[in-house]
């Protein structure tokens, strides 16, 4: 068993300033769409996530931040079923989903994008979105050769819905271009469109602004808010671009070495000494 890391006790005892559990317990309600309870993830001797508590109220846009290797993507992999937590429980809409297979979790309404874009690069943008939508279809692959009218109708509807999603993400003009040929920012938006096609109620975005220029990341902020409103979503995002994080998130969790060192609204996180030391840096305080 690995030794507890420095900070665990502080995180548990200094309620308010450093305590994630303390800050969150006040906000816990039946309107939470997602809850993590004492979730830990160990890989051999590495504790990637340690006793993490999170409660995400429905309809919020929240963020998970921290230095490289802090465990942020691991948290997404746990929530989406790519990893089964070593300890603890993940509840989505009040159902325990710890250890449930990724495709089942996706069907229950959690969609994600990936830190390293995972599109089918040789397929068109439209086809990529249609792949996401297939999860919601009733017809099975074996029905296709029988040319059933219901299958045709479903395919037509899927194509139309996918086009609407491309429009919503400003990608309709590149619908028939190969995904791999699109500029980086467009590929990131295409991943969001594909995730939306699965009809989620919770969307996890892993570094959606990575590789974007300042204008693209400003547009992304507007897009994230609009997508949340138009699709009635709750959004949890991981992001290193603090302008984006502080601009769109109403609540933040800060991880360091897998431990939640702070949790609160952007203003309290910005001025939190421990977060400044572990992640933001003094320069951020002066420039903020
Ligand atoms: N499948 C795995 N096997 C072994 N170790 C892993 C695995 N996945 C993650 N880790 C380790 O867990 C720790 C957290 O990694 P993670 O990718 O979650 O960090 P992160 O906060 O997303 O970092 P970044 O900001 O660089 O993306 C790292 O030490 C990483 O090497
Ligand atoms: Mg990561």
10-residue stretch averages of pLDDT, the chain, 288 residues long: 35 38 48 95 96 96 96 98 97 96 95 92 94 69 60 81 94 96 93 95 96 91 95 96 95 96 95 90 66
Half-sphere exposure of 37 (CA within 13 A, CB side): 13
Nearest ligand for residue 74 CA: 1
* Ligand 1 atom nearest residue 75's Cα: 18
Closest-CA residue, ligand 1 atom 18, reads 71
Q: Which residue of 40, 70, 210, 261 sits with most ligand 1 atoms within 8 Å of its CB, as the best mutation to test the pocket?
A: 70
Q: Is the CB of 120 under 6 A from ligand 1?
A: no
* Ligand 1 atom nearest residue 83's Cα: 1
Position 147 scores a pLDDT of 67
Q: Is the CB of 48 under 6 A from ligand 1?
A: yes
- 8-109+200-287 has which CATH code? 3.40.50.300
Position 154 scores a pLDDT of 75
- Residue 115 alpha carbon to ligand 2 centre in Å: 6
- Residue 117 alpha carbon to ligand 1 centre in Å: 17
Nearest in space to 15 (alpha carbons), one of 41, 56, 53? 53
Q: Looking at beta carbons, which pairs linking 5-14 to residues 24 or more positions away fall under 8 Å?
A: 5/47, 5/50, 5/257, 5/258, 5/259, 7/256, 7/257, 7/259, 7/261, 8/50, 8/51, 8/259, 10/261, 10/274, 11/259, 11/260, 11/261
Residues 107 and 115: their CA atoms lie apart, in Å, by 21
* Ligand 1 atom nearest residue 70's Cα: 21
Position 156 scores a pLDDT of 85
Q: Is the CB of 49 under 6 A from ligand 1?
A: no
Q: Is the CB of 247 under 6 A from ligand 1?
A: no
Q: Is the CB of 116 under 6 A from ligand 1?
A: no
Full-model pTM:
0.87
Q: Is the dihedral of CA 225, 231, 232, 236 positive or negative?
A: negative
The domain segmentation of the chain, as residue ranges, is 8-109+200-287, 122-199
């Amino acid at each position: 068993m690995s030794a507890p890391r420095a900070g665990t006790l502080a995180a548990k005892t200094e309620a308010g300033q450093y305590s994630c559990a303390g800050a969150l317990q006040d906000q816990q309600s039946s309107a939470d769409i997602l809850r993590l309870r004492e979730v830990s993830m160990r890989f051999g001797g590495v504790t990637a996530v340690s006793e993490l508590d999170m409660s995400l109220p429905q309809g919020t846009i929240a963020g998970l931040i921290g230095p490289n290797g802090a465990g942020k993507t691991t948290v997404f992999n746990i929530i989406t079923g790519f990893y089964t937590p070593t300890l603890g429980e993940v509840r989505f809409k009040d159902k325990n989903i710890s250890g449930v297979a990724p495709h089942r979790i996706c069907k229950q309404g959690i969609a994600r994008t990936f830190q390293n874009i995972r599109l089918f690069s040789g397929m068109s943008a439209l086809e990529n979105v249609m792949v996401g939508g297939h999860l919601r279809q009733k017809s099975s692959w074996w029905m296709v050769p029988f040319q059933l009218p219901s299958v045709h109708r479903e395919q037509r509807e899927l194509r139309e819905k996918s086009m609407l999603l491309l429009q919503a993400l400003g990608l309709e003009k590149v619908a028939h271009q190969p995904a791999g040929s699109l500029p980086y920012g467009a590929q990131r938006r295409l991943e969001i469109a594909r995730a939306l096609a699965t009809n989620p109620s919770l969307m996890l975005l892993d570094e959606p602004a990575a590789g974007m220029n300042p204008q693209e990341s400003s547009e992304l902020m507007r897009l994230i808010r609009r997508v949340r409103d138009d699709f009635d979503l709750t959004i949890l995002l991981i992001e290193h671009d603090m302008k984006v994080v502080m601009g769109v998130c109403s609540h933040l969790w800060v991880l360091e070495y897998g431990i939640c060192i702070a949790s609160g609204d952007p203003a309290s996180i910005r001025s939190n000494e421990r977060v400044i030391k572990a992640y933001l840096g003094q320069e951020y305080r002066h420039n903020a």
